Amino acid sequence: MQELRVGRIFSCATNAQQCIDVVSRNEMYFAVLPLVHPRARREFSGRTERSEPFTRSDLTLPSNIWSSNVIGSLSPWLNFDSPCHKVRMDSEQALKQEMAWAHHISCPAVIAPPPGRSCNNYARCLYSQIAASGGTSIYVHMPLTWKDDPDSDKDPWETWNSVRMLCEHHFCLFVALEVTSDLPTDETLTQWLCEPVKLLILPTSIFLTNTSGFPVLSKRHQNFLRSFFWYNVEVAVSGRPRHEGGLLVYSQYLQHLFSSRTPLSDSERFEQPYWDFLQIPLQPLADNLESQTYEVFEKDPVKYVNYEQAVYLALIDLQANFGFRQDPFIVMVVGAGRGPLVRASLRASERANIAIFVYALDKNPNAVVTLRNMRVTENWADRVEVVQSDMRDFSPPVKADILVSELLGSFGDNELSPECLDGAQRFLRPDTGISIPVSYTSWIAPISSSKLHQEVKAYNDVKHFETTYVVKMHTHKVLSDAQECWTFSHPNREVPIDNSRQSRHRFQVKRSSCLHGFAGYFDALLYADVHISIYPETFSTGMFSWFPLFFPIRTPMFVGKGEEIELQLSRCVGDKKVWYEWAVVAPSVGPVNNVNGRSFSIGL
C-alpha cells in the first residue's frame, strides 16, 4: 500500500452524489454514508405498510461507487440491549433491513454503532447477520476510551472482546476504532494492534493547530497512527472541519503522516509477504529441499557470518590445544546443502590461517550436484570431499575435529537436530571433537492474535489446531516475556540419550487479554560467545532464516488482569516420530493438545 486511504464520515447524507463529490474534491477515497436516514426510526411490529421508500434509491450512485468508495453506517438509534423488548425487536428488524440493503447495493462493509457496556444481544444480532449475509463485513465502532466514563474499570477492549467471543472470532467482524483526544496507556494502545482494526475514525476535534494554522496531531497520536500504518488500516475523518482549508487540510496532513511512517528494514521487507502466513514446518528427514528454498536461506546476512566466526574460534582453540599438527583439521559439514557452511568453514580456515579438510555431507542428491560442481569451479578439490549419504548411514574414513550443522528449526529442536546430531556425533573425535552448534535452547511466550486464530480456524478441524506453524507473526501481541523451555547440548555423552523434555510455565499477564496460543523461539550457542537467536531478548538483528513457531489453542481464553497463564509443554519421542503436546492449565484448564502426536509429528 503506497497511499493511505482516507475517507469522510457523513452523519447525514440526503444526497449521496454530493457526498461523493465532497470526498473527491478533498483528495479522499471513500465516504461513510448512513444506509438509512439517521432519524428514520422505523417500527416493524406494526402492521401498517408504508408506501414511501425507507431510504434513498440505489440509483443515486453508480454500482462501482457503492462497491468501491462507500462504507455504510447503520442507524445510530439501534439499541439491541434495551430493557424494552419492542426496542430490541425493532432494532433487530432494522439491522436486518439495512444489512440486506447494504448487500443489495454491493456495499462491502458497514459500521455498527458502538455497543453499550451490556453488549450480549448486540453481539448476537451482529453474529446473526454476518453468519447469514453474503460476506458484508461489519466494523464495530469502538472508542479508545468511553466518553462518558474514561476512568471506567472495564475498558472498551473488554467490550470488544466479549462481542467477538460471542461471534466466535468471525472473519467478517472488524473494528472501526475511534481515536479519542484522551489516549489510554501505551499498553492499551498496543493491544489494539493485534485486533482486526480496519478503520481508524479521527474526529476533527482531536486535531491541534500548528503555528501556520494547519491541523496536526499530538506526538502520541502521531505515534499511535504510525504504528497502525503497517497494519493495512484506513482512516476516516468525522465531525465538522475546524481549520481553514476545510476537509482538504486534514486529508493532506494524514497523507503526510503516512508518508513519514518508519520505513521497513531490509529484513522486514523480506518478511513482509510472509506476515501472518502459516507455514507447516519442514520435515527435513523426509523431504528434500528445492534449490529455491536453499537460495532464500543462503541469502541470510547474519547466519553464515556467525557460523564462520564460530568455526574460526573453534580452530584457534583446537590449534592452541594441539600445538602444531601436520594434518589439517577435519571439518565435517552434515547437511551441506548447496555449500554455504562449507564456504563459511573455508573462510574461517583462511582467516585463522589454519588448514582444514572438509567433508561435505548431504542426503539430497540434487544438492550434491551443486556441491560437486563447486568443488571444481571454486578450486576445492584438495580441501573438500563431497559425500552423498544420510548422516545416519555414513562411515567416515577419519574422525572429525569439528562437526558443523544447521539443522535448527524455529523452536531449536523441532526439525530433529538433537536426534540427527546424536547419530552424527560418532564421526567426532571422542575427546576433543567440537559440535557447532554447541547447544540450543527453546523459549516460549503466550500471544494474542485473532488473525492467526482465524487462519487456523478456517480449516475447520481439530487437527489444524493441534499443529504448529512457522509464521512471521505480525498482527499479534506477546502477552508476557518468553520463558526458557529446555536445552540440548552436543556432543551428548549421556548413556542412554533421552531427548524427551518437559517444561511448565507460569506467565504473568499485565492487562486483560485474549490468549490464542504461544510463540516458540530458539537461541543457539554456535561456539564460544557466538550465538544465533530468534528469541526476542537476544535476537540476531538482520537474520531472517527463521520465523517463530506458533502453538495454537482451540478455544481462545480470556485472561483477566493480574491472572496467570499456566502452560505445560512436552517434547515426546516415539520410535518413529517426535512431537509436542501442550496444555493450558490456567486461568482455566484446557485439553492436552496433540496427544500421542495424533495431529502433527515430525518423522524420524
Q: CA-to-CA distance for 538 and 544, rounded, in angstroms?
A: 14
Q: Are 408 and 522 in contact (CB under 8 A)?
A: yes
Task: Enumerate residues 376-415 that contact its own copies by CB under 8 A.
Answer: none
Q: Is there binding between residue 496 and its own copies (CB under 8 A)?
A: yes
Q: Kindly indicate which of the ranges 3-11, 211-219, 440-448, 493-501 contains the residues binding its own copies, using the contact rule CB under 8 A.
A: 493-501
Q: Is there binding between residue 595 and its own copies (CB under 8 A)?
A: yes
Cell of 257: 503522516
Q: Is there binding between residue 182 and its own copies (CB under 8 A)?
A: no
Q: Is there binding between residue 190 and its own copies (CB under 8 A)?
A: no
Q: Is there binding between residue 131 and its own copies (CB under 8 A)?
A: yes
3-state secondary structure 212-258: CCCEECCHHHHHHHHHHHHHCCEEEEECCCCCCCCHHHHHHHHHHHH
- The verdict on whether residue 332 carries a ligand-binding annotation is no
Q: Kindly indicate which of the ranges 26-34, 262-270, 352-360, 578-586 contains the residues binding its own copies, using the contact rule CB under 8 A.
A: 578-586
Is-catalytic flag, 158?
A: no
Q: Is there binding between residue 457 and its own copies (CB under 8 A)?
A: no
Q: Is there binding between residue 583 and its own copies (CB under 8 A)?
A: yes
Q: Is there binding between residue 590 and its own copies (CB under 8 A)?
A: yes
Strand pairing of 564-573 and 602-603? unpaired
Q: Kindly indicate which of the ranges 188-196, 377-385, 521-529, 554-562 contains the residues binding its own copies, using the contact rule CB under 8 A.
A: 554-562
Q: Is there binding between residue 123 and its own copies (CB under 8 A)?
A: yes
Query: Active-site residue among 415, 419, 455, 466?
Result: 415
Size of the site for its own copies (CB under 8 A): 43
Q: CA-to-CA distance for 103 and 279, rounded, in angstroms?
A: 34
Q: Kindly indicate which of the ranges 59-67, 84-92, 229-237, 536-544 contains the residues binding its own copies, using the contact rule CB under 8 A.
A: 84-92
| Cβ neighbours of 138 (radius 10 Å) | 27
Dihedral angle of Cα 261, 266, 268, 274, to the nearest 10 degrees:
130
Q: CA-to-CA distance for 94 and 172, rounded, in angstroms?
A: 20
Q: CA-to-CA distance for 308 and 305, rounded, in angstroms?
A: 5
Q: Are 442 and 331 in contact (CB under 8 A)?
A: no
Task: Kindly give, in sequence order, each residue whose CB lies less than 8 Å from that of residue 168, ignoring residues fewer than 6 positions away.
Answer: 127
Q: Is there binding between residue 458 and its own copies (CB under 8 A)?
A: no
Exposure pattern of 229-244 as b/e (b: 16+ CB <10 Å)? bbbebbbbbbeebebe
Q: From residue 431, give the alpha-carbon distance in Å to each of 321, 406, 425, 434.
A: 12, 22, 12, 9
Q: Is there binding between residue 540 and its own copies (CB under 8 A)?
A: no
Positive or negative CA dihedral for 378, 382, 383, 388?
A: positive
Q: Is there binding between residue 570 and its own copies (CB under 8 A)?
A: yes
Q: Is there binding between residue 591 and its own copies (CB under 8 A)?
A: yes
Half-sphere exposure of 235 (CA within 13 A, CB side): 27
Shortest Å, Cβ 84 to its own copies: 11
Task: Enumerate residues 155-174 that contact its own copies by CB under 8 A.
Answer: 161-162, 165-168
Q: Are 94 and 125 in contact (CB under 8 A)?
A: no
Helix (H, G, I), strand (E, B) or coil at 414: helix
Q: Kindly indicate which of the ranges 60-68, 217-225, 393-401, 497-505 contains the residues binding its own copies, using the contact rule CB under 8 A.
A: 497-505
Which of residues 2, 3, 46, 151 is near its own copies by CB under 8 A? Answer: 46
Q: Is there binding between residue 128 and its own copies (CB under 8 A)?
A: yes
Q: Is there binding between residue 495 and its own copies (CB under 8 A)?
A: yes
Which of residues 502, 561, 562, 603 is near its own copies by CB under 8 A? Answer: 502
Q: CA-to-CA distance for 117 and 535, rounded, in angstroms?
A: 39
Q: Kindly indicate which of the ranges 137-145, 207-215, 291-299, 490-498 contains the residues binding its own copies, using the contact rule CB under 8 A.
A: 490-498
Q: Is there binding between residue 589 and its own copies (CB under 8 A)?
A: yes
Q: CA-to-CA distance for 216 and 210, rounded, in angstroms?
A: 6
Shortest Å, Cβ 185 to its own copies: 23
Shortest Å, Cβ 120 to its own copies: 5
Side by side, the strands of the sheet bearing 402-405 are 384-388, 356-362, 329-334, 402-405, 434-436
Which of residues 318, 581, 600, 601 is near its own copies by CB under 8 A? Answer: 581
Is-catalytic flag, 564?
A: no
Dihedral angle of Cα 506, 510, 513, 519, to the nearest 10 degrees:
-50
Question: Which residues bind to its own copies, rule: CB under 8 A?
Answer: 45-47, 85, 88-89, 120-121, 123-124, 127-128, 131-132, 161-162, 165-168, 495-496, 498, 500-502, 504, 555, 557-558, 568, 570, 581, 583, 585, 588-592, 595-596, 598
- Report, as residue numbers or ranges, the catalytic residues: 406, 415
Binding site per annotation, positions for S-adenosyl-L-methionine = 294, 303-304, 390-391
Q: Provide the annotated binding site.
A: 294, 303-304, 390-391
